[in-house]
Amino acid sequence: MNTLNDFLGRQPAAPELKSVITAVASACTGISRVVSAGAIAGNLGSAGHINVQAEEQKKLDVITNDMLSDMMRSCAPVAGFASEELETVETTGRTGGFLVTFDPLDGSSNIDVNVSVGTIFSILPAPAGRVPAEADFLLPGRNQVAAGYAIYGPQTMLVLTLRDGVYGFTLSAKDEWLLTHERLSIPKDTKEFAINMSNQRHWAEPIQRYVDGCLKGKTGERGKDFNMRWIASMVADVHRVLMRGGIFMYPWDKREPDRPGKLRLMYEGNPMALLVEQAGGQATDAYAPILDVKPEKLHQRVAVVLGSANEVELVRSLSNS
């Protein structure tokens, strides 16, 4: 079977980009082993402090952030990186090459109950000839040169795009990433929606209407029954959408009206939006493509409605009407 190395060897991308992807994949191999060791290695539970997101950090949030950060520091084409777990960007002193943003362990609230979690990453061009500043990271998602995630589930998989389709690699017992999924494609229609229903009373009216239509199923205007899923790990929910279609939503809600949504643009919304668009789906903030959002802050949040194109388009038309 083809390895990630074989695959990258066939891509017309710059060797420097390929080495960044190889470095991220290598870190994810290590993270997979650390995550699966769980309680045996004493890695579960709280790290005992609050991160920049005002969320309680798990031990594995810290461990995995350190693993990825160390890997980025030692990867020559990386000029700087940003993490969900770090208040601001870190520069490597090198110039040119690439900027990497990542969520080292997405869904970590699921760790202690052994539910799939993942690492999400986004790769952007670095400014030429100078050490990057935080402002250099604030590029719209359309500027990403590559993006992907690792999902630590029954299999550990790496799902990756270099802007020419979406490819899946499965981690072997010999720590090789084997190409197992070529050109993932999201069906245009679906009968499966993913949203945290406990927030229903807080959503904007168009989202209420859309979900209500799904719940009414055959008895309502949709004329077909729907299924619902909510894993509460974005990586796992989006992976399911990439594998079999569906619509994933984390919309704005009125509990924090000044906050666009819960998920973060730079290392959750943008990389997932690139993957979904590359797989023939749509990814919006309910109104417009996520990839067109101009970032203002490193840790800014974004509403997310992504997946099967026709379903996302329906939400978008309801929201814009």
Structure tokens at 71: 């890997």
> Under 8 Å CB-to-CB from 35, ≥6 apart: which residues?
43, 60, 64, 105, 111, 117, 152
Which residues inside 211-250 make contact with ligand P6P, applying CB under 6 A?
232-234, 237, 250
Please say whether the beta carbons of 143 and 126 come within 8 A.
Answer: no
Residue 50 in the binding site for ligand P6P (CB under 6 A):
no
Backbone region of residue 114 per phi and psi (left: phi > 0; alpha: psi in -120 to 50; beta: other values): left
Residue 159 in the binding site for ligand P6P (CB under 6 A):
no
Q: Cα separation of 20 and 58, whole Å?
A: 26
Tell me the site size for ligand P6P, rule CB under 6 A.
Answer: 11
- Print burial letters for 111-145: b (CB count within 10 Å at least 16), e (below 16): beeeebbbbbbbbbbbeeeeebeeebbbbbbeebb
Nearest CA among 278, 214, 241, 43 for reference residue 151: 241
Q: Which residue is nearest to ligand P6P (CB)?
A: 234
By CB atoms closer than 10 A (0-12, 13-18, 19+), residue 13 is middle
Which single residue is written with the structure tokens 């993932």? 184
Nearer to ligand P6P, 162 or 283 (CB): 283
Residue 14 in the binding site for ligand P6P (CB under 6 A):
no
Shortest approach of ligand P6P to residue 237 CB, angstroms? 6
Which residues inside 99-138 make contact with ligand P6P, applying CB under 6 A?
106-107, 109
Shortest approach of ligand P6P to residue 234 CB, angstroms? 3
Residue 46 in the binding site for ligand P6P (CB under 6 A):
no
Residue 196 in the binding site for ligand P6P (CB under 6 A):
yes
Nearer to ligand P6P, 18 or 264 (CB): 264
Residue 51 in the binding site for ligand P6P (CB under 6 A):
no
Shortest approach of ligand P6P to residue 35 CB, angstroms? 15
Shortest approach of ligand P6P to residue 106 CB, angstroms? 5
- Positions in the binding site for ligand P6P (CB under 6 A): 106-107, 109, 196, 232-234, 237, 250, 262-263
